[in-house]
C-alpha cells in the first residue's frame, strides 16, 4: 500500500531532513506519525505527495514507484490519495457544496453522481445544513470537516492528514479524529502526522516516532502495555 525503502532527503542547504527512512503501511491501517517540530514529518508528507524528490531511496504508493512515475501519471497516482492539511485549504470563493463537488469535477464524475455523493458526504461530516455556506462563515472545526469530506469524496485508498487538528481546540480535535476513524473503518488507509500526544494515546493505533530525520520507534498500541 505505502512503502518507503531507505529514503533520505537532504535539502540544498545541506540540512538532512530524513535519514534512511524505511517503513511499510498496509492496506486498512491507521497510523500516527509523531515527532517534535523539525523532526522531518512534513518533509515525509511532501515526499509522499511527490512535491519533493528523495535524495536517495524508493517510495511506492499502491505498488507504483514514485521515482519512476512520469509527470502525466501523477494525477492518477494522486487520485488514490486524499489529503487534509492543518490550514484547511478550502476555496474561499465557493460554498461548501462546490468545494467538495470540485474534487469530483476534476475526475469528470457525472453530475448526477456528484450531487448524490456530495450530499452523502456532507451528511457524514455533519454539514448537510450548511452546504450553501462559504468557508468564512464556518468555524475552524467545520472547515476541517469540509476539508475531510473533500478529501474522501473520490474514495481514495489512502488518506494523508498533516496536523489536521493543529488549529483546533480540544473538542473539535476529537470530532476530527472520530471522522478519520470512521473513514478507516470504511476501508481507507489513514496516515496522520501530529504532535498531539493526547489524541495519539487515546486512539490506540500504530505510532511511528521520528526524531532528527530518523525513525526511533514503531509501535502498536499493545507495545505500550495498555492493551485491553
For residue range 120-134, list pLDDT tens digits in order.
999 999 999 999 999
How far apart, in whole angstroms, are the C-alpha atoms of residue 188 and residue 183? Answer: 6
DSSP 139-152: -HHHHHHHHHHHHH
Report the percent of the chain where pLDDT is more than 90. 70
Q: Which set of grid coordinates corresponds to residue 14?
A: 545541506
> Are 83 and 61 a contacting pair, CB within 8 Å?
no
Helices (H), 36-94: 41-48, 74-79
Our CA dihedral for 151, 47, 88, 158, rounded to 10 degrees, sits at 20
Q: Which residues pair with 158 in a beta bridge?
A: 81, 189
Region(s) of the chain under CATH 3.40.50.300 = 1-80+156-228
Superfamily of 1-80+156-228 according to CATH: P-loop containing nucleotide triphosphate hydrolases (3.40.50.300)
86 in Cβ contact with 97 (< 8 Å): no
DSSP 26: -
Of 134, 136, 131, 48, the C-alpha closest to 97 is 131
Neighbours of 44 (CB within 10 A): 29
Strand order in the sheet with 30-34: 81-85, 158-162, 189-194, 30-34, 206-211, 214-219
Confidence of residue 227 (pLDDT cuts 50, 70, 90): very low
Residue 223's pLDDT band (cuts 50, 70, 90) = low
C-alpha cell at 61: 504508493
Q: What is the pLDDT of residues 57-107, one digit of tens each?
A: 999 998 888 888 888 887 778 888 999 988 999 999 999 999 999 999 888
In this prediction, residue 73 carries a pLDDT of: 82
pLDDT band, very low/low/confident/very high, at 195 (cuts 50, 70, 90): confident
Of 228 and 50, more confident: 50
**Closest-CA residue to 31 (of 212, 171, 189, 142):** 189
| Beta strand spans in the chain (E) | 2-10, 16-25, 30-34, 56-61, 64-65, 81-85, 158-162, 189-194, 206-211, 214-219
3-state class (DSSP) for residue 165: coil
Amino acid at each position: 500500500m505505502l512503502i518507503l525503502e531507505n529514503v533520505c532527503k537532504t535539502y540544498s542547504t545541506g540540512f538532512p531532513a530524513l535519514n534512511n527512512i524505511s517503513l511499510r503501511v498496509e492496506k486498512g491501517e491507521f497510523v500516527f506519525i509523531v515527532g517534535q517540530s523539525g523532526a522531518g514529518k512534513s518533509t515525509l508528507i511532501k515526499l509522499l505527495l511527490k512535491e519533493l524528490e528523495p535524495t536517495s531511496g524508493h517510495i511506492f504508493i499502491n505498488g507504483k514507484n514514485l521515482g519512476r512515475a512520469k509527470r502525466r501519471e501523477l494525477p492518477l497516482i494522486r487520485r488514490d490519495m486524499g489529503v487534509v492539511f492543518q490550514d484547511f485549504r478550502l476555496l474561499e470563493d465557493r460554498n461548501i457544496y462546490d468545494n467538495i463537488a470540485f474534487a469530483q469535477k476534476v475526475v469528470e464524475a457525472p453530475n448526477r453522481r456528484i450531487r448524490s455523493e456530495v450530499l452523502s458526504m456532507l451528511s457524514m461530516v455533519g454539514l448537510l445544513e450548511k452546504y450553501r455556506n462559504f468557508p468564512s462563515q464556518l468555524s475552524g472545526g467545520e472547515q476541517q470537516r469540509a476539508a475531510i469530506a473533500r478529501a474522501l469524496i473520490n474514495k481514495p485508498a489512502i488518506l494523508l492528514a498533516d496536523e489536521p487538528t493543529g488549529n483546533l481546540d480540544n473538542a473539535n480535535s476529537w470530532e476530527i479524529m472520530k471522522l478519520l476513524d470512521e473513514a478507516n473503518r470504511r476501508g481507507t488507509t489513514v496516515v496522520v502526522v501530529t504532535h498531539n500526544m493526547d489524541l495519539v494515546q487515546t486512539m490506540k493505533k500504530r505510532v511511528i516516532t521520528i526524531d532528527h530525520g530518523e525513525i526511533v520507534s514503531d509501535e502498536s498500541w499493545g507495545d505500550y502495555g495498555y492493551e485491553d
